[in-house]
A and B are shown apart, each in its own frame.
Chain A
Amino acid sequence: MKTLRFLLEKEFKQMARHSFLPKLIVLFPTLMMCLLPWAANLEVKEIHLGVIDRDHSPLSNRLTHALEASGYFRLVAFPESFPRALEGVTSGATDVLLDIPPRFGEALERGEGTRVFIAPNSVNGTKGELAAVYLSAILKEFSVALRAASSPVSPAPAVEVATLHRFNARLAYKPFMVPALMVMLMMLLCGFLPALNIVGEKESGTIEQINVTPVGKFTFIAGKLIPYWLVGFAVLTYSFLLAWLFYDIVPVGRFGTIYLFALLFVFGIAGFGLIVSNHSATMQQAMFVMFFFIMIFVLMSGFFSPIKSMPGWARAIAAFNPLNYFVEVVRGVYLKGSGVGDMTRPLLALSSFAVIMNAWAVWSYRKSR
């Protein structure tokens, strides 16, 4: 116990004396929480709209105004012809085109059907697709309103689909992104930093000097992990605070639930880091392997794109991704107020991940000796 205390003291001293680690520990979460929720944002706003109005009727004007008023579009061009309009798309100035045919207003007033043409620029696929969806939704609303106004006797009531987004009514992106960023922070600080530190001791040879002392391997590893875990939990708390300060995002559920799952997650991911450190002789090797896994973990975690929309094989891989479960947990607690009872699947998954990774770490250490 005294040995462990001394090792911890040593680790904290080294951390504090490091030329930039202490700065990084504060700067990293701050930047991540302040910048990324704005940048890593899939909400599509400010869609540049070009309208080819071949009608110039009051109705076509009304439609254009309705589009502008929706808040999603900004009218940037009023080209005369389709080829001219396409030039705008080619140059990237316009994201989506709406082609209003001649006698559009007339046809509508007579109660006849008419067609408009939508041409989204799909260089940025998500943006183009969403633009087309928003545009057709507004067109539909417009035509329904028009019909209701024109016929004094209301026609057969049409069935309308109303979508109500639960837990995140405005489908705002930040409450969705901020909890996921916290998970990313924990992964890097508590899982990968201590592993890199161990490889660093390997590289400098100091681990040999420790290995000839009676200090047990577990004491040594605990002495490495605990400081980073303490830092990790402090940073987690700090990012709760930042989320509240900057975005007014507070969990519907309890902080305790997040801390509990964080502990499980950190235990597992640290085990993973140890496996990497056992197989690497230099920091460079370890960094590269970790970078590779960070990419896979993040992109297959539902961090940016929902797992349910991935192909079957990708979903199968994602089922082994601890990040996936922890992201689910933190989002669940933040948005839905989930408790431990609601999340038995992530609980089981994260626990087994922790057990397997640490058993593997011990085994791979024995083998490398």
Chain B
Amino acid sequence: MAAIEIDGITKRYGSVEALRGVSASVERGEIFGLIGPDGAGKSTLFRILTTLMSADGGRASVDGLDVAQEYRKIRSRVGYMPERFSLYLDLTVEENLKLFATLFHTTVEENYALVQGIYGQIAPFKNRRAAALSGGMKQKLALSCALIHKPSILFLDEPTTGVDPVSREELWEILGHLKRQGITTLVSTPYMNEARLCDRIALMQEGRFLEVASPSAIVARHGRTVWAVRGDRMSRLLVDLRAHPAVETCFAFGDRHHVTPCPGATTRHLREEMEAQGHREVEIQEIAPGIEDCFIRIAGRPDVKDE
């Protein structure tokens, strides 16, 4: 039995269709990532799976329990960390942890082993009010509270948004550690580079799953040769590259443009053509395609976040 089964879930808010029939299945013990830009419907799906909201259509089950019928049972088996920090700011670190342990009919001592690695780092500040914690510490506290009842499935809604790179890396290490303990994790992120850290991902856009597979399978299926191009005047270069017959698509990726060349095109040829159009310091390098390149190819739009 899969940890999470999603079958044709739809949800609309007034005239906005947030989810247009998404289906996927998350295996036990895997880290499953929902990757997509803001407004793709990631949080809505989280709220439906954590029984905070009911779907308009379709079925879903979590840990073998139906989200509509057996929501009470689900609640004691999942841990949920919303996108926004939502613990009690006027309670201390320790009080928050104790409160959630009690609400889940357990004690901090009983499952301390599970959170030790995370909580241990904020334990020195256990008498500090949650309001006075830094962003990274708040997140560790939220994760501790979501784990204190030893859930079988963990839901993390954009845990790395607005978090510093060091804390972000730490979080992914923790997720790997939890995976070894048999906990299934559903995690969403708008950062494409984090997709590689998941076992499988669903690329999401406008309420649909574009593709559900492992990151390497997605790259293998959709990845084509990608050239990273840079020059002295990047914005004009983008226009000229797009107009060039040897270029199929071209998108701005931070300090470089990623070009998907037409078959038969060569880097040397393209560089010479660009230099002929007045560009200086043109550098073209062939690189391995990333998830983001694939996402853009599948979605046809470059509306994804890059670090």
Contacts and interface: CB of A to CB of B under 8 A. Distances in A.
A13 B102 contact: no
B277 interface: no
Nearest to B100: A213
A208 B47 CA distance: 9
Nearest to A211: B52
Interface stretch (B27-35, B78-86, B163-171): B78-86
B75 interface: yes
Interface string A1-35: 01100110010011001100000000000000000
B185 to A, nearest CB: 15
B221 to A, nearest CB: 36
Nearest to A16: B90
A174 B269 CA distance: 98
A242 to B, nearest CB: 30
A369 B54 contact: yes
B88 A10 contact: yes
Interface string B69-100: 00010011010101011111111000100011
A13 B95 contact: yes
A299 B216 CA distance: 70
B1 interface: no
Interface string B50-76: 111110000000000000000010011
A99 B8 CA distance: 90
B132 to A, nearest CB: 12
A204 interface: yes
B88 A215 contact: no
A214 B89 contact: no
Interface of A: 2-3, 6-7, 10, 13-14, 17-18, 204-206, 208-215, 369
24 contacts: A2-B102, A7-B103, A10-B95, A13-B91, A17-B129, A204-B86, A205-B84, A205-B86, A206-B87, A208-B52, A208-B86, A209-B86, A212-B51, A212-B75, A212-B80, A213-B76, A213-B103, A214-B72, A214-B75, A214-B76, A214-B105, A215-B103, A369-B53, A369-B54
Among all A-B residue pairs, the 6 with the closest Cβ atoms: A205-B86, A213-B103, A6-B102, A214-B76, A212-B80, A209-B86
Given A2-B105, A6-B102, A205-B84, 6 more contacts: A17-B129, A18-B90, A211-B52, A212-B51, A214-B105, A215-B103
